[in-house]
Amino acid sequence: MRAWRWVWLYGIGIVVVWLLGPELGDMPMFKEMTLGDSKVRGSQLAEFTADAFTLLLFLLLGHRAVSQLPKEGKWSSFLRRIIPPSVTLIIVLAGHRVLRTLAGPFLAEMDRMIYNLIFLLVGISVALWLILALRRSSAMLMQTSEGEPIQQEPAQSREESAPARKPPDEADKTVPLPAPPSSRAQPSNLQQESHDRTVRIDPSHQRRKLGRYAVIRELGRGSTSVVYLGKDPTIQRFVALKAIRFDEVDEPSELVEIKRRFFREVKSVGLLSHPNIVTIFDAGDEQDLGFIAMEVLEGITLKDWCRKANLKPIKRVLELVTTVAQALDHAHSQGVVHRDIKPANIMFTKDGIAKITDFGIARITSFTKTRTDVILGTPSYMSPEQLVGEKVDGRSDLFSLGVVLYELLTGERPFQGESIASLTYQIAHKPHRPPAQIRTDLPPCCVAIIDRALCKAVGKRYQRGLELAEDLRTCRQTCT
């Protein structure tokens, strides 16, 4: 809420300027003033000027409000649709009153008819704009409810399913990347949820159970999975149920193999026990579905902290990323690689704890893909070796965490591209933009950490999460 305090300043300014107009008009110096041979009195001009500034402030308020809205969330999308036509309609109505008062004496009968006709057409056009915006948003609002607990998938699902402030960057979408001939690993290791695709999981009816778990309601969905709020009837515990659809296969033996690999990966991830990694309680399957029962979290994702208007203090960011690096080191020491580290997969709970979500989901999702010439991923956060489909280890996660650190400190991503091909080339071959060019108050130690984390050569990168965490901790101690 602190980031929205400026709204009060605009509101106070609008009220003060609006009230100031009549007060100025009543002053003797303005009452006695006449502009040349015109019929406009000084008091009218004073009120007109105050009203014009009031409308200008109101316009600036609406513009800034739209620009400050979060990128994700259906309510944010609704407000981005409604605010512009609403502000425009108010300005048209108020402006009509002001202009009619000032210009009335100069308008002949015919001119006044033309003026009123123009105003009527403009008013109808803006009103239709507002009505269409309401109609387009009504269906969306009926499908969502505010106040649902936010946990690992819902936070990501809002990113996937909510309309963005502008057309989504290709780098943030699920995109097919042709696997290079030299690829030594299955190129479907990578996973990214899509804005444009949904999962058809039991579309004929609303699920009531997954395994022994009662399904309460759907929390969110992406291109490869649906997340439900569930309840374990045995111990009466609420869980997040991530249901993953297995691709239909021709041979039953293929489905058996997919499920075997699914449970093997879930087991390795489920053995992770760390306070900063989301806990997996259970897993199961039903026909062509696999599901994972995880702890439910309430909080926000780090995506909210990557907007320039909402950047956190440097020491706070370093402390947070230190915690994530330590959690990654624990997972890597157990042979588990995340493969999809990004702000949307790191949550900050209402209890002030950082939690890495969706561990193993990227690899699990790859088991359900029948095509071997497609890489799914979030290109903006991928390491060079990950982009080309090579075998990855924990150092790839540390590269991705370096991208997250860069974005948390600057509000921008280190690599930019107008297309996936352009972005891939930038990550693989071009140096990142020096973060100090974006934020001049960054300590040299922050720049050095980012430079090492984003090294193209795997051997020159941080080799362990603890190594990165130690540098982050030292840097934090030197920050003022």
Q: Which of 51, 340, 358, 397 is catalytic?
A: 340
For tokens 């972005």, the residue is 423
Distances (CA, A) of 238 to 149, 160, 294, 480: 11, 24, 9, 43
What is d(CA 91, CA 122) in angstroms, rounded to the nearest whole number? Answer: 11
Which tokens belong to 307? 């907007």
What is d(CA 242, CA 153) in angstroms, rounded to the nearest whole number? Answer: 8
DSSP 8-class letter at 204: T
Helices (H), 354-393: 361-367, 384-387
- Length of the chain in terms of residues written: 480
Other C-beta atoms lying within 10 Å of the C-beta of residue 88: 18
Neighbouring residues of 344: CB distance < 8 A, sequence distance ≥ 6: 155, 156, 159, 301, 302, 303
Catalytic residue check, 288: no
DSSP 81-125: HHHHHHHHHHHHHHHHHHHHHHHGGG--HHHHHHHHHHHHHHHHH
Q: At CA 419, angle to CA 415 and CA 425, rounded to 5?
A: 50
Residue 345's closest CA among 377, 367, 315?
Answer: 377
Helices (H), 145-193: 152-161
For tokens 């000032």, the residue is 102
Contact status, residue 446 vs residue 475, Cβ threshold 8 Å: yes
Residue 46's closest CA among 101, 3, 104, 120?
Answer: 101
Catalytic residue IDs? 340
